[in-house]
Amino acid sequence: MSDSHHAPAMHMGLPISRAKLGMWLFLGTEIMFFTAFIGTYIVLYFGSVDATGKSAWPTDTHVTHLNIAAGGINTFVLLASSYFVVVAHESMSKRDFAKARKFLIFTFILACVFLGIKSFEYYGKFTHDILPGHIPETDTQAIGKMERQVESRFHKRLDSVVPDIAITDVDGDNKPDRAMPTDQSMIYYQKAAALPQLIESAEGSRKADYEALLALNGQVGVLREQISGNKLTFVEAEESLHEMVEDEHYGSILSGLHMSTPILYGNLFASVYFLMTGFHAIHVIVGMILFGTVLAQGDKLSERWSNWVENSGLYWHFVDLVWIFLFPLLYIIPGNI
| CB nearer to other proteins: pick between 22 and 176 | 22
Q: How far is the CB of 41 from other proteins (least distance, A)?
A: 10
- Alpha-carbon distance 108 to 284, whole Å? 10
109 binds other proteins (CB under 8 A): no
The one among 22, 47, 176, 196 contacting other proteins by CB under 8 A: 47
Backbone angles phi, psi at 246, to 5 degrees: -85, -5
Q: Which of 195, 216, 197, 199 is nearest to 207 (CA)?
A: 199
Backbone angles phi, psi at 261, to 5 degrees: -70, 130
68 binds other proteins (CB under 8 A): yes
Supply the DSSP string of 186-250, one letter for each residue.
HHHHHHHHHHHHHHHH--HHHHHHHHHHHHHHHHHHHHHHHHHTT---HHHHHHHHHHHHH-TTT
The one among 7, 65, 76, 95 contacting other proteins by CB under 8 A: 76
Q: Is 55 helix (H, G, I), strand (E, B) or coil?
A: strand
Q: How far is the CB of 157 from other proteins (least distance, A)?
A: 30
Region 151-210 residues binding other proteins, contact defined as CB under 8 A:
none
- What CA dihedral angle connects 284, 286, 291 and 293, to 10 degrees? 160
Q: How far is the CB of 13 from other proteins (least distance, A)?
A: 9
Kindly indicate which of the ranges 62-70, 202-210, 245-253, 274-282 contains the residues binding other proteins, using the contact rule CB under 8 A.
62-70
- The pattern of x and - marking residues 230 through 269 that bind other proteins according to CB under 8 A reads x--xx--------------------------xx-xx----
Kindly indicate which of the ranges 45-53, 122-130, 191-199, 215-223 contains the residues binding other proteins, using the contact rule CB under 8 A.
45-53
60 binds other proteins (CB under 8 A): yes
- Alpha-carbon distance 175 to 172, whole Å? 8
The one among 7, 18, 19, 25 contacting other proteins by CB under 8 A: 25
Kindly indicate which of the ranges 76-84, 193-201, 277-285, 292-300 contains the residues binding other proteins, using the contact rule CB under 8 A.
76-84
Q: How far is the CB of 262 from other proteins (least distance, A)?
A: 8
80 binds other proteins (CB under 8 A): yes
Q: How far is the CB of 320 from other proteins (least distance, A)?
A: 6
Q: How far is the CB of 79 from other proteins (least distance, A)?
A: 5
With contacts defined by CB under 8 A, how many residues of the chain interact with other proteins? 71
- Alpha-carbon distance 257 to 101, whole Å? 50
| CB nearer to other proteins: pick between 183 and 325 | 325
Q: Is 49 helix (H, G, I), strand (E, B) or coil?
A: strand
- Alpha-carbon distance 216 to 220, whole Å? 6
Kindly indicate which of the ranges 60-68, 147-155, 183-191, 213-221 contains the residues binding other proteins, using the contact rule CB under 8 A.
60-68
The one among 2, 29, 228, 255 contacting other proteins by CB under 8 A: 29
11 binds other proteins (CB under 8 A): no
- Alpha-carbon distance 323 to 252, whole Å? 43
Q: How far is the CB of 295 from other proteins (least distance, A)?
A: 20
Beta bridge partners of 49: 55
- What CA dihedral angle connects 280, 286, 291 and 294, to 10 degrees? -170
227 binds other proteins (CB under 8 A): no
Q: What is the DSSP letter of 15?
A: S
Question: To the nearest 5 percent, what fractions of the chain are helix, strand and coil?
Answer: 75, 0, 25
- The pattern of x and - marking residues 312 through 331 that bind other proteins according to CB under 8 A reads -xx--xx-xx--xx-xxx--
